[in-house]
Amino acid sequence: MTIAPERVEDLVTALRTVLREDQILTSKTDRYNRARVPAPFPVHRWAERVPDLAVLPTTTEQVADVVRIANELRIPIVPRDGGTGLTDGAVPLRGGIVVDVKRMNKIWEIDLDNRTATVGTGISMLKLNEELGKHGLFYPDDPASYPCSLVGGRIGTSGWSLIGSRYGHTRDLVLSFDLVLPTGEVMHVGDGIGRKISKSSSGYQLKHLFMGHQGTLGIATEATLKLYPKPEAELSPFWAFDNYDDAYACVGALARAGVATFAGAVLFDEWKVAYLRRDDEAYIPQPNDVRALVCAVMYGYEDEVRPAGKRLFRIAKEHNARYLGDEISEGDWAARHDRYATPLHGRTKDGQVVPMSWHCEDAAVNYTRLPSVTKAWHEIVADLRRKTDVFDDWGMFAYTSADTGVDYLTEIDVGIWEQQLDDRAWELWVQAKREIAAVAISHQGSISACHGSCREGEVDLVPDELGRGFDVMLEVKRALDPNNIMNPGKYLLDRAYDTEDPA
Ligand SMILES: Cc1cc2nc3c(=O)[nH]c(=O)nc-3n(C[C@H](O)[C@H](O)[C@H](O)COP(=O)(O)OP(=O)(O)OC[C@H]3O[C@@H](n4cnc5c(N)ncnc54)[C@H](O)[C@@H]3O)c2cc1C
């Protein structure tokens, strides 16, 4: 959906009062480039999700001016950082303005004594860590999209980090940030009046509210982040198992061991191992008797990681694990931080190789629920495959979210033949997404640990997951965004405006 051409002209005229000409992008290429996201969508419908223009602000004041203009003119506005989000958060469902914050990528301060960095939210963790490394420091927000997702998008999604079991996830690592509210006012979000307090009990704890909202409550422009010593040692043993049950028992035991340098563990199920063997060129193929894999990761100083490793190796051995050797262990772990180059092909039911894009469905699930969620999700995808050749099951991972092993980011990777995604196949997929989300909820989990849950299908179950909390979301949205201009159409938040009298 787009806005009328004469309104676009009025908008451009207004934007010229606050931005330079080169910061206002109206060409088709610029607009289409900022409509793209990795999650597959029917090609014949791509034109529905293109912004009317994009802007490239460089300061908080400019973002605030743009938002104020959008609010006055009642024009939709969508924040976009790396555009790697997998729940369509940065997709402009109603046209309007995409605010691309990539030029806000300065490092404003590295505070060596308090161990913080203050940055523009358009910076990537990769670039930031290149600078921090010079001081022996690092910022440990480490998604598999590490090189190309940006700090603002991490705030917008409240992202999950591969090494979060040791360092925490985005919400733990971001201390504070400046946020442009949907009315154009600027608000400082965080604990305390300064930027660098990690714990306060004063007032409502608003930081969590303003993270993970998928750009529906404002645009984060400058953030202060917690830093850690750059780890001297990284140990990431990969073990093979000849059955899923041993691997499952092993990952649980490793995560529950309470080893201080433990940064995370990953369980690869049979489907994933078969897929890696079959189709992922980046992986060193495993013999057929390997049916499941586990990887554990330890980060820290050499003299703490080495004994910790001994302990975890002992636990793995007790669970019939076979160590795969240093080369595979180091190589595969390195590749985990940069999964952008996922394979571009999959297979039909008959084994025919066809072009496919990757899609990942994720949920937060307790350890004890993993086997039954795994089974139910594979059945959903198998059912899809019985109905059409557009989908392939690329297997599942379960990654620890916490240092105690309480819950796991559980993901099923689905190959989608995007060029063949017609209306019928899309409907089947949306229904499958609903079923995948329903399984997570029926297992007392959450629809998403990682990406958010505002894409078609899964979003229908958000009110079921949140209960009264969903009504609170509507009330907050209406209060902060009276004209529904900030990323409209997401998270069923239009319902906040459906009532006759919002007051
Ligand atoms: C290969 C691959 C691997 C991935 N692995 C992981 C992983 O391990 N962990 C994980 O958490 N995610 C992962 N993701 C998903 C994605 O990278 C994350 O959701 C990431 O946080 C998005 O960041 P981004 O900069 O690309 O944001 P975008 O996609 O641009 O935006 C994401 C959302 O945040 C909003 N937003 C963007 N900028 C701002 C801002 N400045 N202020 C407020 N809201 C904003 C957008 O409107 C949108 O709703 C992966 C994605 C890919 C493609």
For residue 287, name the pLDDT band (cuts at 50, 70, 90).
Answer: confident
Q: Interior CA angle at 2 toward 209 and 72, to 5°?
A: 60
Mean pLDDT of 76-81: 98
Q: Is the pLDDT of residue 457 over 90?
A: yes
Q: Is the pLDDT of residue 1 over 80?
A: no
Assess whether the C-beta atom of 360 lies below 6 angstroms from ligand 1. no
Q: Whose CA is nearest to atom 31 of ligand 1?
A: 153
Q: Is the pLDDT of residue 2 over 90?
A: no
10 Å CB burial of residue 26 (0-12, 13-18, 19+) is: middle
Q: Is the pLDDT of residue 316 over 70?
A: yes
Assess whether the C-beta atom of 446 lies below 6 angstroms from ligand 1. no
Q: What is the average pLDDT score of the chain?
A: 95
For residue 123, name the pLDDT band (cuts at 50, 70, 90).
Answer: very high
How remote is the CA of residue 455 from the centroid of ligand 1, in Å? 13
Q: Is the pLDDT of residue 445 over 80?
A: yes
Confidence at residue 343, expressed as pLDDT on a 0 to 100 scale: 64
Residues of the chain with CATH 3.30.465.10: 107-229
Residue position matching structure tokens 């223009």: 53
CATH architecture of the region 5-100? 2-Layer Sandwich (3.30)
Assess whether the C-beta atom of 118 lies below 6 angstroms from ligand 1. no
Residues of the chain with CATH 3.30.43.10: 5-100
Instruction: Tell me which of 78, 149, 400 to substitute to probe ligand 1's pocket, judged by most ligand atoms within 8 Å of the beta carbon.
Output: 149
- CATH code: domain 233-336 is 3.30.70.3450
Confidence at residue 333, expressed as pLDDT on a 0 to 100 scale: 87
Bridge partners (DSSP) listed for residue 411: 362, 397
How remote is the CA of residue 133 from the centroid of ligand 1, in Å? 24
- CATH code: domain 345-461 is 3.30.300.330
Confidence at residue 14, expressed as pLDDT on a 0 to 100 scale: 98
How remote is the CA of residue 184 from the centroid of ligand 1, in Å? 23
How remote is the CA of residue 140 from the centroid of ligand 1, in Å? 16
What is the rounded distance in angstroms from the CA atom of residue 142 to the CA atom of residue 469?
A: 29
Q: Is the pLDDT of residue 282 over 60?
A: no
Residues of the chain with CATH 3.30.70.3450: 233-336
Task: Among 86-95, 336-345, 392-401, name the one with the lowest average pLDDT.
Answer: 336-345
Residues of the chain with CATH 3.30.300.330: 345-461
Confidence at residue 111, expressed as pLDDT on a 0 to 100 scale: 98
Q: Is the pLDDT of residue 292 over 80?
A: yes
Q: Is the pLDDT of residue 38 over 60?
A: yes
Who contacts 38 (Cβ-Cβ below 8 Å, separation ≥6)?
A: 84, 86, 357, 358
Assigned token pair, 128: 């930031």
- Ligand 1 atom closest to the Cα of residue 454 is 49
Assess whether the C-beta atom of 81 lies below 6 angstroms from ligand 1. yes
Assigned token pair, 79: 């924040």
Mean pLDDT of 312-338: 91
Task: Among 7-16, 81-90, 327-336, name the one with the lowest average pLDDT.
Answer: 327-336
- Ligand 1 atom closest to the Cα of residue 89 is 49
- CATH code: domain 107-229 is 3.30.465.10
Closest CA to 89 of 153, 30, 133: 153
Confidence at residue 342, expressed as pLDDT on a 0 to 100 scale: 63
Confidence at residue 5, expressed as pLDDT on a 0 to 100 scale: 87
Confidence at residue 334, expressed as pLDDT on a 0 to 100 scale: 84
What is the rounded distance in angstroms from the CA atom of residue 3 to the CA atom of residue 459?
A: 25
Assess whether the C-beta atom of 454 lies below 6 angstroms from ligand 1. no
Confidence at residue 264, expressed as pLDDT on a 0 to 100 scale: 98
Q: Whose CA is nearest to atom 34 of ligand 1?
A: 156
Mean pLDDT of 306-320: 97
Confidence at residue 502, expressed as pLDDT on a 0 to 100 scale: 43
Mean pLDDT of 297-301: 97
Confidence at residue 341, expressed as pLDDT on a 0 to 100 scale: 59
Instruction: Tell me which of 55, 80, 170, 189 to substitute to probe ligand 1's pocket, judged by most ligand atoms within 8 Å of the beta carbon.
Output: 80
Assess whether the C-beta atom of 489 lies below 6 angstroms from ligand 1. no
For residue 503, name the pLDDT band (cuts at 50, 70, 90).
Answer: very low
Under DSSP, the state recorded for 197 is: B
Q: Is the pLDDT of residue 178 over 70?
A: yes
- Ligand 1 atom closest to the Cα of residue 79 is 47
Q: How far is CA 182 from the centre of its chain?
A: 23
Residue 410: phi and psi, rounded to 5, are: -110, 125
Assigned token pair, 212: 């993970």
Assigned token pair, 54: 């994009």
